[in-house]
Amino acid sequence: MLIHMFGLLVQPRRQWQLIGNLSEKNLRRQVPYVIVLALLPALAWYFGTTKVGWSIGGGDPVRITSDSALSLVAVFYCTMVLAVVAIGYLIHWMAKTYGARSYPMKGMVIAGFTATPIFIAGAAGFYPLLWLDILLATLAVAYAVYLLYVGIPIVMGVSEERGFLFASAIVTVSMVAAVMVMVGTVLFWSYVAAPVFH
């Protein structure tokens, strides 16, 4: 799993070829990758928001209570994993449209490996600094989109042209999912478990 993670960061095309050549049984073994890697941003943000805190305008640091942060981080973690599963299933579902042969696990593995830079950038939560977090998140999302455009034609075995259209459809669905998560976050904070600051 870690070999694929580092490979995607330094040699994405070659790594996607290795992933594309995995059998269905070996692809199933990659499922814990998302479950484990999604813990990195969740734990980082828990520590950063409860122990370090953040300040606006150079004032005293603002922190969230441990109990409040625990429920928020649990939902954050579950949302990340469920988003990967949902987008992975959509990759599988759309595969036939673009002439690719797929099965649900293949789509989920593609979605999980594509999210690698986002999970790694989430480690910035250990020290919540707004401008740095926004910069890293922007770079991580841009690289994740690049990984998707490179990986889809290779892993799904379609032409570059079809792969471009396929990846574009996935990016569109992912943006809609991101908006839904943002709306869900606002509703969750408003009606279920608002952060408790101290």
Q: Which residue has the tokens 């976050």?
A: 185
> What confidence score (pLDDT) does residue 198 get?
83
Per-residue pLDDT of the chain in tens (198 residues, 90 and over written 9): 678 888 999 999 999 999 999 998 998 888 888 899 999 999 999 999 999 998 877 788 999 999 999 999 999 999 999 999 999 999 999 999 999 989 999 999 999 999 999 999 999 999 999 899 999 999 999 999 999 999 999 999 999 999 999 999 999 999 999 999 999 999 998 898 888 988
Beta carbons within 10 angstroms of residue 46's beta carbon: 21
> What confidence score (pLDDT) does residue 95 get?
96
Question: Using an 8 Å Cβ cutoff, are 73 and 47 in contact?
Answer: no
**How far is the first Cα of the chain from the last one, in angstroms, to the nearest whole number?**
39
CA gap 136, 22 in Å, rounded: 31
Residue 64 β-bridge partners: 197
Spell out the residues 6+ positions from residue 175 whose beta carbon is closer than 8 angstroms to its own: none
CA gap 176, 181 in Å, rounded: 9
Name the 3-class secondary structure at 158: coil
Q: Angle formed by the axes of helices 66-95 and 160-191, to 10°?
A: 150
The dihedral formed by the CA atoms of 29, 32, 34 and 35, expressed in degrees to the nearest 10:
160
Quick one: tokens of 137? 């998140």
> What confidence score (pLDDT) does residue 58 get?
78
